[in-house]
Amino acid sequence: MVVKTRKVVFYEGVETDQAKCASPWSEDRWKRLFEDIKQKEAIEEKEGSNSTLLWNSFGGRRYHCSARSCTTPSVDYLYLCKLRPRIDWPDVQNVGGSVESLVSKAAELGITNILEPCYILPVAGTRYIAVMRSSNGPSARAISDWVDSFIDDVKTNRVFALNPVFTKDALKRLRTAIGAKRLSFAFTEVPDADLDEKIEGSHVDAAVGELSQITKREMSIGVTLSFGHARALGPGPDEMLEEVKKIVDASEKPNRKLSKLEATVVQPGDEHPETDPIDFLKEKYCETVQVGASENDEPSPESVLAAMMDAITKFRKKIRE
């Protein structure tokens, strides 16, 4: 029997005001978001199917969010779904073996939309959230964009973003490093040299700012710096290590949307310095969990949330270590 597994990834929400002051969301702030969504849902219910209060579009896709509750386990969670365009609907096969497009059977079956979901569950007693999504469900970027558009709609004049929670191991390895031989990162959204907060003292960030004047935020920028086979210690690797630390720290800022963040640092060895490659985006707190008894089981909210609670239990243990 094949068991269906999913990844649960942990994030923290960060809100930045007009003065570029960033503040992590507290547990109470997440609760307020739930209440604000519930109020909009009540209005949406009165307006009927034509309501667009909780719908929004990003990257050519439509998203809808709702605040829900589950009895077993007893939790409140957000259900954010991505509307799948009909051109991407799959085919279906009946008991006789005939294959037809699902679109052609939609009216007969009473299907109006196919939704790709993700579940967003606060980690009680902390500022963190757990996220589980379907194979093509909303990304962390889509979640950030939806929440940002929603809080802007309620006139907060703030910018919201989700930041991954890095493992303590990755941060410890960065702290113990004595140099760096390679730094490679890529922005999915280029920081604006005029508008966005600079990384103080970073030559790399200054160079990216200059490049942003060429791209005008319409292109991604990737940067790789490497000493190749040169010796691992000295002023150059020392300076690169400081750049690595600045870029990692700045990755928590909402205007630094990174699709890649890798570094090869140098650790003190028993006899000689040793290289240590770190992929920070893979060093996120993440748990793989089993959803249901097999991959053929329906992924009910109860089974998904139970699996997420198991992941949260493991996460709590790790952050206490």
Residue 195: the pLDDT is: 42
How far apart are alpha carbons 58 and 310 in whole angstroms? Answer: 32
Residue 153: the pLDDT is: 63
- Structure tokens belonging to residue 53: 């209060």
> How confident is the model over 24-53, as pLDDT tens digits?
999 999 999 999 999 999 988 887 766 777
The answer to whether the predicted template modeling score (pTM) of the entire model surpasses 0.85 is no
* Distance in angstroms between the alpha carbons of the first and the last residue of the chain: 35
Residue 194: the pLDDT is: 47
Q: What is the mean pLDDT of residues 235-257?
A: 74
Distance from CA of residue 81 to its chain's centroid?
A: 15
Residue 192: the pLDDT is: 54
Residues with Cβ within 8 Å of 103's Cβ and at least 6 positions away in sequence, in order, are: 86, 89
Answer whether residue 200 shows pLDDT above 90. no
Amino acid letter at 37? Answer: I
Q: Mean pLDDT over all residues of the chain? A: 84
Answer whether residue 251 shows pLDDT above 90. no
Provide the total of helices (H) and of strands (E) in the chain, helices listed first.
7, 15
Answer whether residue 203 shows pLDDT above 90. no
How far apart are alpha carbons 305 and 307 in whole angstroms? Answer: 5
Q: What is the mean pLDDT of residues 166-186?
A: 87
Answer whether residue 202 shows pLDDT above 50. yes
Answer whether residue 315 shows pLDDT above 80. yes
Q: What is the mean pLDDT of residues 81-104?
A: 91
Cβ atoms 150, 78 nearer than 8 A: no
Stated length of the chain = 321
Give the residue from 131, 132, 161, 165 showing the smallest Cα distance to 148: 161
